[in-house]
């Protein structure tokens, strides 16, 4: 059990170091790769997740996925809450680590980079035009449904082949991120959104903007669980995948 919890913590932290790290890279003054664009960032999220799977094997790294795997029987129900806690702590720790790496660039960006852009390094938030809580909720539920269904099917296809699991999930994040992420920024994972959102709240960053907890708790906080339940039911009952 401890081994599993450590793997969930460490893999989630590593995923967030890559993902929040690339948004630091893209956004902050003083970073070498500033302005490298969305394909650069989404590629890092995608294959950063591949790397986590290469290292830690079939981890969840995601409370919604932990729920989904509990429903289909891959994770014991008694492990669900501990997994969620380990993942949330991993999300916070990873965001703090990314902040530490780029701390001098955060300093250089104070009052020079839009505070909303700095907040968005950490958490997912729609643009003003796209801000619509019911629709954003539906999108996050749908994106998570596709994402987790994809992972379950890939896992069923690859068996014990950890490398193909990582590669398949990386390609899945490419497609989901670029194709479905333009409104909400494809959180699909409480540890990915709320973990770094908490980190933004507590880290010593100057000139902070509103952290929008209402959005955070309602949309990336709850919608992924809806998608997770749908993915578990769809994969087992409709697609007939067995685990």
Question: Interface with its own copies includes 31 (CB under 8 A)?
Answer: yes
Q: How far apart are CA 208 and CA 162, in angstroms?
A: 41
| CB-based contact 54:162 (threshold 8 Å) | yes
Instruction: Give the binding range for its own copies (CB under 8 A) out of 72-80, 178-186, 203-211, 222-230.
Output: 178-186
Instruction: Give the binding range for its own copies (CB under 8 A) out of 84-92, 181-189, 190-198, 207-215.
Output: 181-189
Minimum distance from residue 191 beta carbon to its own copies (Å): 17
Binder of its own copies out of 8, 11, 12, 47 (CB under 8 A): 47
For residue 110, what are its two tokens?
């104070």
Length of the chain in terms of residues written: 243
Residues 67-106 that bind its own copies (CB under 8 A): 97, 100-105
Question: Interface with its own copies includes 225 (CB under 8 A)?
Answer: no
Binder of its own copies out of 73, 77, 179, 208 (CB under 8 A): 179
Question: Interface with its own copies includes 180 (CB under 8 A)?
Answer: yes
Q: Which is nearer to its own copies, 60 or 231 (CB)?
A: 231
Question: Interface with its own copies includes 183 (CB under 8 A)?
Answer: yes
| CB-based contact 148:60 (threshold 8 Å) | no
Q: How far apart are CA 165 and CA 155, in angstroms?
A: 6
Residues 105-164 that bind its own copies (CB under 8 A): 105, 107-108, 126-132, 135, 138-139, 142, 146, 149-150, 153-154, 157-158, 162-164
Q: How many CB atoms lie within 10 A of CB 116?
A: 13
Question: Interface with its own copies includes 174 (CB under 8 A)?
Answer: yes
Q: How far apart are CA 31 and CA 139, in angstroms?
A: 32
Q: Which is nearer to its own copies, 71 or 146 (CB)?
A: 146
Q: How far apart are CA 184 and CA 107, in angstroms?
A: 28
Residues 6+ apart with CB under 8 A from 202: none
| CB-based contact 20:106 (threshold 8 Å) | no
Minimum distance from residue 231 beta carbon to its own copies (Å): 11
């Amino acid at each position: 059990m401890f081994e599993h919890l450590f793997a969930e913590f460490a893999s989630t932290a590593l995923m967030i170091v890559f993902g929040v790290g690339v948004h630091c890279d893209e956004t902050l003054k003083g970073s070498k790769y500033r302005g490298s664009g969305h394909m650069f960032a989404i590629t890092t999220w995608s294959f950063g997740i591949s790397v986590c799977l290469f290292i830690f094997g079939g981890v969840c790294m995601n409370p919604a996925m932990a729920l989904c795997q509990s429903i289909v029987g891959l994770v014991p129900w008694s492990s669900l809450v501990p997994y969620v806690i380990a993942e949330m702590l991993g999300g916070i720790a990873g965001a703090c680590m990314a902040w530490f790496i780029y701390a001098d660039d955060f300093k250089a960006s104070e009052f020079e980079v839009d505070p909303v852009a700095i907040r968005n390094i950490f958490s997912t938030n729609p643009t003003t035009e796209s801000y619509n809580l019911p629709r954003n909720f539906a999108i996050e539920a749908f994106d998570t449904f596709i994402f987790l269904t994809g992972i379950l099917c890939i896992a069923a296809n690859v068996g014990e082949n950890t490398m193909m699991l990582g590669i398949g999930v990386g390609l899945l994040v490419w497609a989901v991120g670029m194709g479905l992420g333009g409104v909400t920024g494809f959180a699909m994972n409480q540890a990915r959104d709320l973990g770094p959102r908490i980190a933004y709240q507590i880290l010593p960053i100057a000139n902070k903007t509103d952290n929008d907890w209402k959005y955070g708790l309602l949309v990336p906080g709850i919608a992924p669980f809806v998608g997770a339940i749908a993915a578990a039911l769809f994969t087992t009952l409709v697609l007939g995948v067995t685990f």
